[in-house]
Amino acid sequence: MDSRLLHELKKLLGSEGVLHEPEDLLLYEYDGSVEVAKPACVVFPRNTEDVVEIVKLANRYETPLVGRGAGTGLSGGALARQGGIVVVFSRMNRVLEVDVENQRATVQPGVVNLDLSIAVAHTGLHFAPDPSSQKACTIGGNVSENSGGPHTLAYGVTTNHVLGMTVVLPTGELVRLGSAAVDSPGYDLTGLFVGSEGTLALVTEITVKLTRLPEAVKTLLAVFDTVDDATETVAEITRRGITPAACEMFDSWTIRAVEDYVHAGYPVGAAAVVLIDVDGLREAVESEAEEVADICRLHHAPEVRVARDAAERDLLWKGRKNAFGAVGRISPTYYAMDGVIPRTKLAVTLRRLAEIGAKYGFEIGNIFHAGDGNLHPLIPFNGRDRDEFRRAIAAGTEIIRCCIEMGGAITGEHGVGMEKDHLMPYLFSASDLELMRGVRDAFNPSGLLNPGKIFPTAKACGEIYARPAAEMSAPPA
Amino acid sequence: MSIASMTAPSRLASISGPSHVVSESPELGAYEICGKRPAAVVRPGSSEEVAEIVKFAATEKLAVVPSGARTKLSMGLAPRQYDVALDMTRLDRVVAYDPADLTLGVEPGIPLQRLAAVLAEHKQWLPLAVPYMERTTVGGTIASGVDTPLRRMYGTARDYVLGMEFVTGQGVTAKSGGRVVKNVTGYDMHKLMIGALGTLGVMTKINFRTFPLPVDTRGFVASFASAERALELRHVIAHSPLRPQAVEILSSGAARILRGDVAARIAPGPSASEVFSKVHWTLAADFSGNEKVLDRCERDLRQMGEKCGGESFVVLSPDQMLPAASRKREFIPIALASSPAATIVKMGVLPTRMNEVLASAARAAETNSLPWAAIARGVGVIYFTLLPKDRSDETRLRVIQATDQILFECAGLGGNATIPWSPAEWKSSLKVWGLERGDLDLMRKLKTLFDPSGTVSPGRFVGGL
């Protein structure tokens, strides 16, 4: 990279605020996805003013910029696909304001998701979006990807909880969007910027809603002898108009993986389990839990376990939240997919996934947010075997096309990033994409901010299939 | 009138058929917006026709304003130009409804009431308790961004619109979002259309998630000597485990117009509106759930209400709730019909600031000798209505003074305020879209992208966009 740019960045942030040695950059070549891209340098702003100056420098040196939180993303959103500067927000990790009375908080983007909930726990409030990576992922990252989580079934995803933010546009301009008060007049810019995958602005402050913790929670674990019984149960719960706080499903492969690792008491040998939370007023939870248990039994669940206390509940949930880690023990490299289907199509889709797995020679694991039809097929593969990698990617593409055929979407919470940009044309027409590109270009005219994301590029079609091993670790252009 | 707008009817007829184009004077009057009358009305029968009409208009530099039941065309500013009224009422189909998945796709021209009946067959609903309920279309509801008291539990349309297809100001058909309940694929452009008054494009299909109808409901009404006490109960509820569907606070002035003859004409039927106090402030809270839940809510609420100094505590059964709720729901049309120059300020404020904001608005109204009525939602929305006795120029000046003061003081208290409704001829001298905003430039960029030649609803929105 340009040594003058490096010098200026160091002058701005101090040498502790800039990384550029190859060994220091290694970590930032990765996120939680199977993608790899090497930045030219990594910077750590301390405040909004630093971010503004970094953006101005990037403009002056015509260098790409990519925002990054904890790097837990699963679609390569925080990777420097075209090299350049990665802006890591880990030093901007303060909760700026908690307004208990109005159930609001204003945070810097580097605040870890769970840390906000912990910070306000004594007030009986929490930040409702709870990605499985919530112990590590940051709220800035959640905003960029519009992250979900198990409990977003009842409580809504990130966008439903963000009221406003301060952003630095790729031009260096500082703008406040939305407000702590509801119904900010004008176009819903906050709604547009949440989930824009870091392509429209760098976010430096976020105002969120805090949600009251429920008075009562019941956690049920229903065990099934067939996958179809489990999916039918989920469909029936939906059909009856019950919205559990969470409704998660594991197949036999993931049950084994999780149980070996977490020892949460999951029944190894079962074809599937469904983990369900119902919450609310004590009076509502009692009857709703009973109804859910009845539906499970109606669909031949041989066992419906109700967690007796908080400790048992936490253990069951520990199994869910650590599932990806558990899979990692079995297969150090795996492809964590993300697709959405209508909830009525769960059974047929899971059968299709098993067929696709067989076709490409994989046993695909499934652990997912069944209640909102958000699938997470896991394809374990040997990362050193290029052919296997290619097959895993091909199987993944077929899975996503299957979701589209079912009337679904290509990502429910992980984002498009550089993982699925080439799949966008399967879902959106040329004019849809042209308008979306227009939106990006309106705010990010020089294309310096997070280039190569969301939109299919000419070379991206097929790139992912044929990417040579050398290119995976090649220095940026 | 330009030559293009004079020849428009024949061109529109070639697109949608002559029977769906009107260019005769009396009928055109029904499409007036703030005194502006279009040269033609066209009723397209498909999204393709919508695209063709808009494309034609863009080429000919004509301006098009989409409308549904035309109940809220007076919101916002007058269009800068208005040649063609795009009547969307023929696009009124339910395109897809999967009750088992609780998802729905409709064309925008479908009346909300008719859609509600379709959903009710499956014990489902869209929690849109919006004004003009008897006539309004889904598209008009979404485009106008009117809110609903049920947002306390369900959020607003932005929380349950899953995706959209729309025609941009250039006549290009585009879509965003999808039909599934969770989706982060691509930019959420459909969120921009909500409340945009048709200034970015014309919606041609809207996808929703639907919700199960509550098994049972119960309403609770209490009166309070002051807004402060009523709001105190609002805060106590917010910090309790109770999850009401709706919490609203009404001033005595609001109760008076809701109980009056005008209200009886606009929202007829048996009235339970006498539960709203004509002398005090009223808090109304609606709950849903099973009987045990409702009993618990009733018990807790009674206790909380008494602690906050509540009086005349009334419990409403679903049968009694309905008429009371419909009166509250129709507050805006009732207020507009209750004064020759009703001017409604809508404010979004932090809940703990509502008391100060209400007090300051009341002062502004009273200093200027203007009768007022207010209805507030617990989430921090206030509809503050000035009800002048005439439309004279002198009155206009007093309304300008009062609204200016309300807007500035609301901003000072961290809120935002607009004036969506007022006499048309006053709009140019009122701050219809509120005080200047730092993000207007970004909004302008979007308008330029979606509608570069100012074809769709030009000038109606924030900053004259």
The verdict on A417 touching B (C-beta cutoff 8 Å) is no
Question: Do A148 and A223 sit in the same domain of this protein?
Answer: no
Distance CA A244, CA A274 (A): 12
The verdict on A129 touching B (C-beta cutoff 8 Å) is no
CATH number at residue A243: 3.30.70.2190
Tell me if A33 is assigned to some domain: no
Tell me if A143 is assigned to some domain: yes
Tell me the per-residue pLDDT of A277-335, one tens digit each, with 9 for 90 and over.
Answer: 999 999 999 999 999 999 999 999 999 999 999 999 999 999 998 888 888 888 888 99
Residue B277 confidence (pLDDT): 86
Give the B window 363-392 contacts with A, CB below 8 Å. Answer: 379-381
Contact B101 A101 (CB under 8 A): no
Residue B278 confidence (pLDDT): 85
Query: A401-413 as b/e, with b when 16 or more CB fall inside 10 Å?
Result: bbbbebbbbbbbb
Q: Across the interface, which of A145, A157, A286 has its CB nearest the CB of B182? A: A157
Amino acid, single-letter form, for residue B78:
A
Question: Do A279 and A224 sit in the same domain of this protein?
Answer: yes
Two tokens at B35?
Answer: 């005194």
**How distant is the Cα of B229 from the closest Cα of chain A, in angstroms?**
16
Contact B350 A180 (CB under 8 A): yes
Distance CA A323, CA A325 (A): 5
CATH number at residue A175: 3.30.465.10
Amino acid, single-letter form, for residue A353:
L
Contact predicate A299/A247, CB 8 Å:
no
Contact A185 B182 (CB under 8 A): no
Distance CA A477, CA B192 (A): 36
Strands B311-316 and B281-288: unpaired
pTM: 0.96
CA of B296: which chain A residue's CA is closest? A283
Name the band, by pLDDT with cuts 50, 70 and 90, for residue B271.
low
Contact B380 A187 (CB under 8 A): no
Distance CA B57, CA A143 (A): 38
Q: Which among B43, B53, B8 is positioned nearest to B170, based on CA atoms? A: B53
Question: Do A192 and A223 sit in the same domain of this protein?
Answer: no
CATH class belonging to B92-212: alpha beta
Distance CA A412, CA A366 (A): 15
CA of A196: which chain B residue's CA is closest? B187
Residue A458 confidence (pLDDT): 60
Name B23's Cβ contacts closer than 8 Å, sequence gap at least 6. B8, B9, B39, B40, B41
Name the superfamily (CATH) of residues B339-429: ACT domain (3.30.70.260)
Question: Do A221 and A206 sit in the same domain of this protein?
Answer: no
Two tokens at B33?
Answer: 């917006």
**Alpha carbon of residue A127 to chain centroid:** 16
For the beta sheet containing A334-336, the strands, ordered from the edge strand earlier in sequence to the opposite edge, are A303-306, A216-224, A272-280, A246-251, A365-368, A377-380, A334-336
How far the first Cα of chain B sits from its last, in Å, is 22
Which residues of chain B make contact with A409, given a CB cutoff of 8 A? 178, 180, 182-185
Helices (H) and strands (E) in chain A, counts: 18, 20
Which domain covers residue A178, as residue numbers?
A: 95-212
DSSP string covering B183-246, please? --SS--HHHHHTTSTTSSEEEEEEEEE-EEPPS-EEEEEEEESSHHHHHHHHHHHHTSS---SE
Contact predicate A78/A199, CB 8 Å:
no
Distance CA A96, CA A120 (A): 12
Question: Do A222 and A194 sit in the same domain of this protein?
Answer: no
ipTM, interface predicted TM-score of the complex: 0.97
Q: What share of chain B in percent tops pLDDT 90? A: 91
From-to residues of CATH 3.30.70.260 in chain B: 339-429
Give the B window 253-272 contacts with A, CB below 8 Å. Answer: none
Question: Distance of CA B281 to CAs A224, B311, B355, B394, Å?
Answer: 55, 10, 12, 30
**How distant is the Cα of B456 from the closest Cα of chain A, in angstroms?**
15
Dihedral angle, C-alpha A154, A159, A161, A162, nearest 10 °: 180
Sequential pLDDT tens for chain A (477 residues): 899 999 999 999 999 999 999 999 999 999 988 889 999 999 999 999 999 999 999 999 999 999 999 999 999 999 999 999 999 999 999 999 999 999 999 999 999 999 999 999 999 999 999 999 999 999 999 999 999 999 999 999 999 999 999 999 999 999 999 999 999 999 999 999 999 999 999 999 999 999 999 999 999 999 999 999 999 999 999 989 899 999 999 999 999 999 999 999 999 999 999 999 999 999 999 999 999 999 999 999 999 999 999 999 999 999 998 888 888 888 888 999 999 999 999 999 999 999 999 999 999 999 999 999 999 999 999 988 999 999 999 999 999 999 999 999 999 999 999 999 999 999 999 999 999 999 999 999 999 999 999 999 864 443 443 333 333 333 333
Contact predicate A65/A170, CB 8 Å:
yes
Amino acid, single-letter form, for residue B246:
A
The verdict on A175 touching B (C-beta cutoff 8 Å) is yes
The verdict on A413 touching B (C-beta cutoff 8 Å) is yes
Tell me the per-residue pLDDT of B99-122, one tens digit each, with 9 for 90 and over.
Answer: 999 999 999 999 999 999 999 999
Distance CA B100, CA B94 (A): 16
Query: How many domains is chain A built from?
Result: 2
Tell me if A354 is assigned to some domain: no
Question: Do A155 and A231 sit in the same domain of this protein?
Answer: no
Question: Do A109 and A201 sit in the same domain of this protein?
Answer: yes
Name the band, by pLDDT with cuts 50, 70 and 90, for residue B322.
confident
Residue A82 confidence (pLDDT): 95
Distance CA A157, CA B28 (A): 45
- B217-324: in CATH 3.90.1720.10: no
Question: Do A251 and A145 sit in the same domain of this protein?
Answer: no
The verdict on B170 touching A (C-beta cutoff 8 Å) is no
DSSP string covering B422-436, please? S-GGGGGGS-TT-S-
Q: Which among A327, A225, A339 is positioned nearest to A273, based on CA atoms? A: A225
Amino acid, single-letter form, for residue B75:
M
Where among A309, A326, A343 does a domain terminate?
Answer: A326
Distance CA A151, CA A277 (A): 8
Which residues of chain A make contact with B191, given a CB cutoff of 8 A? 188, 191-192
Tell me if A346 is assigned to some domain: no
From-to residues of CATH 3.30.70.3450 in chain B: 217-324
Name A310's Cβ contacts closer than 8 Å, sequence gap at least 6. none
